């Protein structure tokens, strides 16, 4: 019984403690890796959002130029941007799928961008058909500016939210790094302690075995 108690105190408890520390350390490392992946995704979302914002600006710029000079070559950048916009919107939807708050904002942004492109396309068609008065009235009443502002606010809302989450993730990741370093030190000390416990157990077993071997066997007379 004394040997069993010594076995528990010198081996079982240190092994359990070491396993617990190792599990915590692996969990922290996995969390840090996941945080790094999330940060990379945040950066990609902001990149695609910036691309989309530039495309919308290119469409608006091309439309304004066409209204002024009526040269069809000015519509080429507009048409090129329109062809790429659906792909960027789909990419944003896929990237933001793991985060409902991001995904919801993309779902708000998508119809507004589509409405913006549809309105510009319709106005361009009207100019081509000679309906200049209706287009100029639309511009003078400020409806185009209001729609552009609505789209711009949707861009800013999503970008601001992603940026906030990215900064919060950086702070949290740094905190987890500190805990990870502390866990690494604790795991190292635990390994050292486990080694000492195994050494003590080995010594204890070494004392018991010779004692048993010194007993002389019974020899019949």
* CB < 8 Å & 24+ apart, contacts of 197-201: 197/10, 197/11, 197/14, 198/11, 200/10, 201/6, 201/7, 201/10, 201/11
Predicted structure pTM score? 0.64
pLDDT tens for the chain, 221 residues long, are 555 555 555 556 666 666 676 666 566 556 556 667 888 899 999 999 999 999 999 888 888 888 888 888 878 878 888 889 999 999 999 999 999 999 999 999 999 999 999 998 889 888 888 888 888 888 778 777 888 899 999 999 999 999 988 887 665 555 555 555 666 656 666 666 556 655 655 555 554 444 444 444 544 44
Q: How far is CA 15 from the centre of its chain?
A: 36
Backbone angles phi, psi at 205, to 5 degrees: -65, -35
């Amino acid at each position: 019984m004394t040997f069993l108690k010594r076995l528990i105190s010198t081996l079982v408890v240190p092994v359990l403690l070491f396993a617990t520390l190792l599990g915590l350390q692996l969990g922290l490392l996995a969390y840090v890796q996941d945080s790094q992946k999330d940060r990379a995704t945040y950066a990609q979302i902001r990149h695609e959002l910036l691309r989309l914002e530039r495309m919308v600006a290119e469409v608006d710029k091309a439309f304004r130029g066409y209204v002024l000079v009526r040269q069809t070559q000015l519509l080429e950048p507009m048409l090129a941007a329109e062809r790429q916009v659906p792909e960027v919107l789909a990419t944003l939807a896929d990237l933001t799928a793991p985060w409902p708050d991001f995904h919801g904002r993309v779902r708000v942004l998508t119809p507004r961008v589509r409405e913006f492109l549809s309105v510009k396309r319709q106005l361009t068609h009207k100019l081509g058909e000679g309906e200049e008065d209706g287009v100029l009235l639309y511009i003078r009443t400020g409806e185009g500016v209001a729609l552009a502002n609505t789209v711009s606010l949707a861009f800013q809302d999503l970008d601001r939210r992603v940026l906030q989450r990215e900064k919060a993730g950086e702070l949290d990741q740094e905190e987890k790094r500190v805990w990870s370093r502390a866990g690494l030190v604790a795991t190292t000390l635990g390994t050292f302690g486990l080694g000492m416990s195994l050494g003590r157990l080995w010594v204890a077993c070494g004392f018991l075995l010779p004692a048993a071997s010194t007993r002389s066997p019974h020899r019949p007379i």
